[in-house]
Amino acid sequence: MFRPHVPVNPLPTGLVSPLIQFTAPATTVEPMACNHDHTSAPVPVATSRSTVQLTPGSAIALAAGGGAVVLVVGTVLVSLLLAVTITGVSVALVAVVLRLLIRDMQKGR
């Protein structure tokens, strides 16, 4: 089940030789002559203009979109921080109340 797919020579010579032996001699193939030109193709000239052009209107829209993203992410982060703060304060308040209740129970009131 866990056998190697290609059997190898188990001798510790450092050379790994597969057990597949070729018996028939390889035939030689002559290259065929081609009938086309081997010169290189012309290189296109690079333009100096950038691929993305911003007009004043699109720049303003991009800035407004970025500002909106910053405001939304900021609002989410502040609300998460506020939730953690409220949770921490409420846990501390419960701990103080429980401490007072346990102290009153130990005094026997």
> In the prediction, which pLDDT does 53 show?
79
> Of 96 and 31, which is predicted with more confidence?
96
Q: CA of 13: how far to CAs of 3, 19, 82, in Å?
A: 21, 15, 70
Does 89 score more than 90 pLDDT?
yes
> In the prediction, which pLDDT does 45 show?
72
Does 32 score more than 70 pLDDT?
yes
Q: Is the pTM of this model over 0.75?
A: no
The whole-number average pLDDT for the span 1-30 is: 63
